[in-house]
Structure 1
Amino acid sequence: MTITPPALSVFEALESEVRSYCRGWPAVFDRAQGSHMFDEDGHTYLDFFAGAGSLNYGHNNPVLKRALIDYIERDGVTHGLDMSTTAKRAFLESFQNNILRPRDLPYKVMFPGPTGTNAVEAALKLARKVKGRESIVSFTNAFHGMSLGSLAVTGNAFKRAGAGIPLVHGTPMPFDNYFDGTVEDFLWFERLLEDQGSGLNKPAAVIVETVQGEGGINVARPEWLRALAELCERQDMLLIVDDIQMGCGRTGAFFSFEESGITPDIVTVSKSISGYGMPMSLALFKPELDVWEPGEHNGTFRGNNPAFVTAAATLDTYWADGQMEKQTLARGEQVEQALRAICEEQSGTHFRGRGLVWGIEFEDKPRASAVCKRAFELGLLVETSGPESEVVKLLPALTISPEDLDEGLRTLARAVRETA
């Protein structure tokens, strides 16, 4: 496919230099449906990006679109702060019946604001309020958001530097396999907790991603997560699982921590919870942690009622019968086989992932960006991740057909070969 760079003058003239994705994908997109996006010049792109994981059910999913249009056409409430509405009630009932109750999860639900970092800020704030301590432990290569509290528990040096002020009250610890199996899990962490001379303030909580998406598709083992949960319980620390990108079925189960059998104290959810790509986030926590005073944490856009509508439709459509998880795991096996073949053919490459989140790491680190560029030229949207953008990251929609998935994987293999 030949791509003619579009006229981008209005974007270059008016939009901030902070824009990023548009630099790697120099097209003006006009329409999207399912796993495809279309630019204004008529080119078609297969989407293995899915709105950075916010479109797990594809673009303009027809079931969700119909629910949204019907709601808007009957003049349903659009903006309601935290007022009680029929849309919120329908979502909460669906979430309880389809997600919480079948998993025996006791969580209270908080709507902290429209984005993932709002949920993380609320989780950190609540943990500190409950425990009366300031310090939060995070992990190497973690990413939790771009607001100041979230940045303080994020590992990426480039993103942290953008804060412009010291990021305090956060302490990083080694993520699973950070030392390539040469150091016992949590040896350093537990030694610091128990040593009165270590200088580590007693943490209020530990925040972790079960799969580090922005950090390079680093997958935590179930036994590592179980050991972390046990450590938190022994040391009187809350365990926060950031499920913003890996939740909502991305790894197979609705919550990415289900495979490990743990029950975190607090869980943050966003991205695909609305199902339709609309802003929405949740902070979930055990009932005994619900120590908020009314209005103590609030926000103008914490009641996105159109998002409640599509979220409820998503849960009722895709999570009532257990088929979504089975389909995701089957598609994941399809991806794994293709990536294994690519890496067997190409030296200096390694792959890893779970469900429908996968990455190919390149020892020649700039090559990952070159692969993404060539993939775009061939009509496939993929992005990089990792501290040095050394990983090509795959986030196809969970609803992608086997045929589209196979086509995208063949295109990716071609892009890898042609950048060797």
Structure 2
Amino acid sequence: MTTVETSIFESLESEVRSYCRSWPTVFETGSGAWIQDESGREYLDFFAGAGVLNYGHNNPVMKKALIQYITDDGITHGLDMSTVAKREFLESFKRNILDPRALDYKVQFPGPTGTNAVESALKLARKVTGRESIISFTNAFHGMTLGSLSVTGNSMKRAGAGIPLVHTTPMPFDNYFGGVSEDFQWFERVLDDGGSGLNQPAAVIVETVQGEGGVNVARPEWLRALADLCKRHDMLLIVDDVQMGCGRTGPFFSFEVAGITPDIVTLSKSIGGYGLPLALTLFKPELDLWGPGEHNGTFRGNNPAFVTATTALDHYWSDDRLQNETLAKGERINEVLSNLADAFDGVSTRGRGMVRGLAFDEPQRAVTVCGLAFDEGLLAETSGPSDEVVKLLPPLTITDAELDHGLSILAEATARTLA
């Protein structure tokens, strides 16, 4: 129901707004795993900014560092100029993330968002190989700008481009055929067949867990086979870790479980730590063929985000404590969702680490569950091509008690929906 407090949104803001339609209130403050509306009602956040807030709302460690930086008149905007904040971030990223994993990547700051990182990855792959075609996968989501949309599967989002999205070809994601077809049978066949009409691809872009596509999890062995296929056919492998990176699946990078080293990796969302916009494109040094300024952007050097990102890396990634806690909490979520799937027909569960999904054979039921959960003070969104999956992305720093509280709300909402 429209109120005085929300009327300005409905009268002035574009009809393109989406999340606010599912959560009809006006939020004012957030702390940890909780968000509060202007009436004072609290909601447990199992959405976390679609994966931006892995460390929760207004994380106190990062807030302190950010306030100090602003108070000291630290550089807030510097394009790609060298700054102390950028240097400290790069040193921390190398020390805490790259060196312990023996990863030799160059770091590019392509712009503030995930789609900026994807666009730069696609451009670089085409520049390096001299080819145009990119392979993507069914139900993929990589962003809303034209290049990113071209490798996105969702038909509604693709239609919004208003022009043909070309030079890309979708292939079946892991288990797309329900396990009845040999992995990469079609993909490798058309690569080897001179009559298939498939141009030699520059690269393959993949999510190890498709978040927006319905929490579809690629098996480690599937990812290893994909990496091997790319190597044998001289294609670059791009892993889009925008939503699943920064510890969402347990390890810092979601591809670590497969033991592969992608040629290019995209990061955004939680890399800024505090919810501040930041994106990285990582690539092997031999691929760094950019000329100065060949790919740029006004907001590619967000110095306040460098400060909070450095604090997050130093505080949470200097050891494996957060990774182990994330894996343990993920198993707790899986236990509850599996019990629901066992108790009710037409329900299944999927996911890895602290990205989990409860899938419904009847899509409207997922929407109903999220609506009932909101009424009881829990934020959760749907995903999948028909919004058939309740997707859970709680902050990695959520307490066990808060996690259990949210899961109990979800279980009750599911029981009420399916009773």
Same-fold call, TM cutoff 0.5: yes
* One-letter code aligned to 2:284: K
Corresponding residue SS for 2:299: coil
Aligned to 1:154: 152
1:136 aligned to which of 134, 140, 143:
134
TM-score by length of 1: 0.99
Corresponding residue SS for 1:361: strand
CA distance in structure 2 between the partners assigned to 1:326 and 1:298 by the alignment: 37
Aligned to 1:163: 161
| 1:114-164 Cα distance to aligned partner (Å, 9 max, x none) | 000000000000000000000000000000000000000000001000000
CA deviation after TM superposition for structure 1 residue 4, in Å: 9.7
Structure 1 portions without partners, runs of 5+:
none
Aligned to 2:176: 178
Instruction: Please tell me whether the aligned partners of residues 6 and 26 of structure 1 are also in contact (alpha carbons under 8 angstroms).
Output: no
Identity %: 70
Q: Within 5 Å, which residues of 2 pair with 1:239-258?
A: 239-258=237-256
Aligned to 2:76: 78
Aligned to 1:389: 387
Instruction: Please tell me whether the aligned partners of residues 5 and 26 of structure 1 are also in contact (alpha carbons under 8 angstroms).
Output: no
1:365 aligned to which of 354, 363, 366:
363
Q: Kindly tell me: are residues 65 and 392 of structure 1, through their superposed partners in 2, closer, same or farther at Cα, counting changes over 3 Å?
A: same
CA distance in structure 2 between the partners assigned to 1:400 and 1:4 by the alignment: 33
1:260 aligned to which of 248, 258, 261:
258
CA deviation after TM superposition for structure 1 residue 5, in Å: 6.3
Aligned to 2:377: 379
Instruction: Please tell me whether the aligned partners of residues 348 and 363 of structure 1 are also in contact (alpha carbons under 8 angstroms).
Output: yes
CA distance in structure 2 between the partners assigned to 1:243 and 1:61 by the alignment: 22
CA deviation after TM superposition for structure 1 residue 417, in Å: 1.0
1:30 aligned to which of 21, 28, 31:
28
Is 171-180 or 3-12 further displaced after alignment?
A: 3-12
Corresponding residue SS for 1:358: strand
2:288 aligned to which of 282, 287, 290:
290
CA distance in structure 1 between the partners assigned to 2:2 and 2:417 by the alignment: 21
CA deviation after TM superposition for structure 1 residue 347, in Å: 1.1
CA deviation after TM superposition for structure 1 residue 63, in Å: 0.1
CA distance in structure 2 between the partners assigned to 1:365 and 1:317 by the alignment: 40
Aligned to 1:19: 17
**For the aligned residues, what is the CA RMSD?**
0.9
Query: Following superposition, which runs of at least 4 residues in structure 1 exceed 2 angstroms of deviation?
Result: 3-7
Aligned to 2:417: 419
1:277 aligned to which of 270, 275, 286:
275
CA distance in structure 1 between the partners assigned to 2:196 and 2:337 by the alignment: 43
| 1:226-281 Cα distance to aligned partner (Å, 9 max, x none) | 00000000000000000000000000000000000000000000000011011000
Structure 2 portions without partners, runs of 5+:
none
CA deviation after TM superposition for structure 1 residue 6, in Å: 6.7
CA distance in structure 1 between the partners assigned to 2:159 and 2:389 by the alignment: 22
Corresponding residue SS for 1:154: coil
CA deviation after TM superposition for structure 1 residue 7, in Å: 3.2
CA distance in structure 1 between the partners assigned to 2:61 and 2:6 by the alignment: 34
CA deviation after TM superposition for structure 1 residue 87, in Å: 0.2
TM-score by length of 2: 0.99
